[in-house]
Structure 1
Amino acid sequence: MTTSVINLLKVRDDRSPVHFEEAGEVGKFKLCNGSDASWLTTPEFGLKELRSRVEPWLTSLFQTEHLSLLVGSGITHAVHHIATGSSAAGMDREGYNFGDQHDKICAAADREAPRAGRTAANIEDDLRVANELLRGMEIVDSQKQAQLKQQLETILGQFASSILRSEGGIATAEAARREQAFNTLVTFLMSFASRSGVRDRLNIFTTNYDRLIEAGAELAGLHLLDRFLGNLMPIFRSSRMDLDMHYNPPGIRGEPRYLEGVARFTKLHGSVDWVQTGKDIRRIGLPFGVDEVAPYLKAPGLSDASPHKLMIYPNAAKDSETANYPYVELFRDLAAAVCRPNSTLVTYGYSFGDEHINRVIRDMLTIPSTHLVVISYNDPLGRIMKTYEELGRPSQISLMIGPALSDLQTLTETFLPKAAIDKTTFRMSELLKQRFGTEPRPSPSVEKGNEGLGSVEDLI
């Protein structure tokens, strides 16, 4: 007997999450026992009723003064599944070996995993403990530090290769499915990035190491502004220079306007193509979906680089200064972007397993005019709902959890606002409202040719 999948929806004036499940027919749903929704008039409903409830709400939130998008591993798994029919590589610790210290490292990681809300440790936890152990060995000048360092370099290389394999799975998928996957990703990104010119730029944050967001932005023609400057081998800059892209409208001087299709981009945990070279952090030219990193580290200026120097969190830190840099700068960007009035943060595929990020979100919600939208395919460990309860601000939080709401294709086709919220849309809406929204029935003048309404210019 199969267990029905439960979906959770909380938007607008819902006092608590509405639980619903499939009603036995594709696209038809019913409320779960004990759940109630004042906006439903029939026991069964479909995507049409859900769309009328969700889409206007998201459209309104997406046009708040400040908008940020935080994506986790769920976006990679979703796009990879569309392209290949299978999930992307995860954080499973199987296949990694730390040598003589393996059992001790895994045991320590298992003890620390519950602090992050995980029932079992993953490779990130193992790497974090291994780095701490390596630092301790360097302090006491242990004879085993060279062996552990070599194992760490090997494992980080394997870890980077697993990330690249996920990219490669998408890049080498069957042409029709690959095109469908990237089209869905582009639609997803542009639904957020298409903001009117008077609004602040969209801020995109990700905890992923892969370059899926960058690939989607490139296909969409979306310009990403980050802390890296340069073209051949961009270098990470600590100083946050508020660079932007503007244009001068014809016939207007001194009033530059925002160039459309520009967003600010931050990879909170680093990237598979970031490498530490001396005192600098650079982004190397690593093709999307390439087999391995090592051949691309054999370039002038990267002589001391190795997989051990890749800036993927937790990186192989040499001291506390290196451990904090550049991640402290990136998390500062997150706090600066979301912790301000009239700000909306949308999370997709983020399981709330990073306490650094959760702390920023908690601080954001202390500002009454902020709002958090959580979109997730599932919540297998219960971390999302646990965080929701702990935050204690239900009026400032919207929830869309479950495949009926958060499947990437369903989300982009049904619930996200269209990717062109512009003046023309609002003018048309206002025109239709004045024509048909104020009178219960069209007047004869309207039926004959809109006499009495005046010109379109008068309306808009």
Structure 2
Amino acid sequence: MPFAAIRGATALTDEIELEAHLASLLRLENIGLLLGAGASVAAGGLTMIALWSQFVRECADDAEWMVEHGFIDAQAIAHPKPTTPNIEHLIDALEIALSDWTRQMKKFAEEVDYADGEEALGQNLDDLKTAKAALFRTVVRAALLREEWWLSPSGVETDDAALASQRTILQKLVSARQPGQASPWIFTTNYDLAIEWAAESIDLQVSNGFLGVHTRRFSPQSFDLGFRNTQARGEARFGVYNIYLAKLHGSLTWKQEGGQVFEVAAPLAHQRIRQFMAERDGSDLGLMVMPRAAKYMDTIGYVLGELFRRFAEFMSKPQSCLILCGYGFGDEHINRLIRSALLNPTLQLVIYSSGFSGDPADANLPSALRKLLSLKNPRITVVGGGAGHAYIDSLARHLPDPLIYDDDMRKFEKALRDDHEAQEPLLDDLI
């Protein structure tokens, strides 16, 4: 698919024009990324389409049970290419049935005349729990990325190409910050540790809302703190030394205990994950917000509510730019915040969408993205053109390389050079 990009109602002619636009946006006061599942594919993650295909392939009995009991259509498990259902609505339907069937079981337990019905319903209830747990395990498995990264005491090595794009993006973003500007924000709906591992491999500090050395407790005031080099002078003042990371749907390394939320080391979290994967009737893990429509209610708690508040606050600040990559617009609670944030007249949006072919009215695009395109707002830029132009490696390539001098320093340098060249003939005459 050829390169396709549009800013408002005007098509961008080539990648050079896009790169120039991104270079100007990185000079704004506030810069942030919103990463979805697509941003982790190169590191071993799965999109929703790939996740469902894996579930149908590896949990065929559970998928067929869902068809038999009307939770999904037969086309959803058709081979070789199943039709991906709305997984949020599917999990909602499973949970509603679980609640209803559990209530009926309690009623049967009180009325001895329904012994036969109780046995049949009990078997269906067990099958339902098994199918739901299998779907949740598939979601968790998709967020594990690579097993060796969890077990390695050093995390991910800098020469590991799987996270090369993440490292490049982080380095370019922090290097582009000017003196006095805030560190970049990374917002993500992913449970995986791709950003943390990429940042650690280049010794970049990650402020994720947790404070502590051996016991890391959620302390949102940490988002108001930053890092600086006390010895930096002149040019060395450029750039920042940390990023802010907000995992909007939780993380595989979070746990809730005693009314508080803690972050645990990856090897310890991996032990908990292995236990979860071995339990066929498990349903949740830590503070992950499973992909269901009801997750909007899950986001109003203390931790996730604070992270969403920070997300909304970022988009309301003057002179801000939010770049979306790998996000499929499947989370309506996030879509609402983005649409509302456009009331900020200085907010710039850049959206990398692999499905965008240049046609704003394309029916195959997510409806939320079509709504944004229909605004023809010059503050909204959409980049498409498939794998060659719209994935995270493309974003890493399009972002400008860091500059040592700002515009004023460049003008001063040019003036000195011109003056030196003017003096050279005089020096030659004296010699």
1:224 equivalent to 2:206? Answer yes
Q: How does 1:260-279 map to 2 (within 5 A)?
A: 260-277=240-257, 279=259
Q: Deviations over 1:148-167 (max 9, x none)?
A: 44554454334323322x33
| Alignment equivalent of 2:389, drawn from 393, 396, 405 | 405
Q: 1:357 to 1:336 in 2, by over 3 A?
A: same
| Alignment equivalent of 2:351, drawn from 354, 371, 374 | 374
RMSD, aligned CA:
4.5
Instruction: Output the CA distance in 1 between the equivalents of 2:211 and 2:70.
Output: 38
Q: Which runs of 5+ in 1 are unaligned?
A: 19-36, 38-48, 112-118, 299-305, 437-441, 453-460
Q: 1:247 to 1:428 in 2, by over 3 A?
A: closer
Q: 1:147 to 1:351 in 2, by over 3 A?
A: closer
User: What is aligned with 1:8?
Assistant: 4
User: What is aligned with 2:226?
Assistant: 245
Q: 1:88 to 1:180 in 2, by over 3 A?
A: farther
| Alignment equivalent of 1:200, drawn from 177, 182, 189 | 182
Q: 1:233 to 1:151 in 2, by over 3 A?
A: farther
Contact 2:51 2:138 in 1 (8 A): no
1:311 equivalent to 2:287? Answer yes
Aligned residues: 381
Give the superposition deviation at 1:416: 0.8
1:134 equivalent to 2:111? Answer no
Q: Secondary structure at the match of 1:224?
A: strand
Instruction: Output the CA distance in 2 between the equivalents of 1:428 and 1:450.
Output: 26
Q: Deviations over 1:303-323 (max 9, x none)?
A: xxx663332222899999767
Q: Secondary structure at the match of 1:359?
A: helix
Instruction: Output the CA distance in 2 between the equivalents of 1:340 and 1:219.
Output: 31
User: What is aligned with 2:32?
Assistant: 68
Instruction: Output the CA distance in 1 between the equivalents of 2:298 and 2:395.
Output: 40
Give the superposition deviation at 1:331: 2.0
Q: Deviations over 1:122-169 (max 9, x none)?
A: 5444334323433445556657456644554454334323322x3338
Q: What TM-score, normalized to structure 2?
A: 0.71
1:386 equivalent to 2:370? Answer yes
Amino acid across the alignment from 2:6: K
Which protein, 1 or 2, shows the higher relative CO under an 8 Å CA cutoff with sep ≥ 6? 2
Q: Deviations over 1:180-225 (max 9, x none)?
A: 3333321112222331231122111011121111111111222121
Amino acid across the alignment from 1:90: A
Q: 1:354 to 1:410 in 2, by over 3 A?
A: closer
Amino acid across the alignment from 2:147: G
User: What is aligned with 1:162?
Assistant: 142
Instruction: Output the CA distance in 1 between the equivalents of 2:407 and 2:20.
Output: 13
Q: What TM-score, normalized to structure 1?
A: 0.67
Q: Secondary structure at the match of 2:171?
A: helix
Q: Which moved more, 1:53-62 or 1:257-266?
A: 257-266
Q: Secondary structure at the match of 1:209?
A: coil
Contact 2:211 2:218 in 1 (8 A): yes
Q: How does 1:173-188 map to 2 (within 5 A)?
A: 179-188=160-169
Amino acid across the alignment from 1:449: E
Instruction: Output the CA distance in 1 between the equivalents of 2:39 and 2:232.
Output: 43
Q: 1:426 to 1:219 in 2, by over 3 A?
A: farther
Amino acid across the alignment from 2:199: A
Q: Secondary structure at the match of 2:98?
A: helix
Instruction: Output the CA distance in 2 between the equivalents of 1:138 and 1:450.
Output: 94
1:449 equivalent to 2:411? Answer no
Contact 2:72 2:85 in 1 (8 A): no
Q: Deviations over 1:248-301 (max 9, x none)?
A: 73599xxxx999221111111222222344533333323499698135999xxx
Q: 1:128 to 1:61 in 2, by over 3 A?
A: same
Q: 1:197 to 1:235 in 2, by over 3 A?
A: same
User: What is aligned with 1:439?
Assistant: none
Contact 1:128 1:314 in 2 (8 A): no
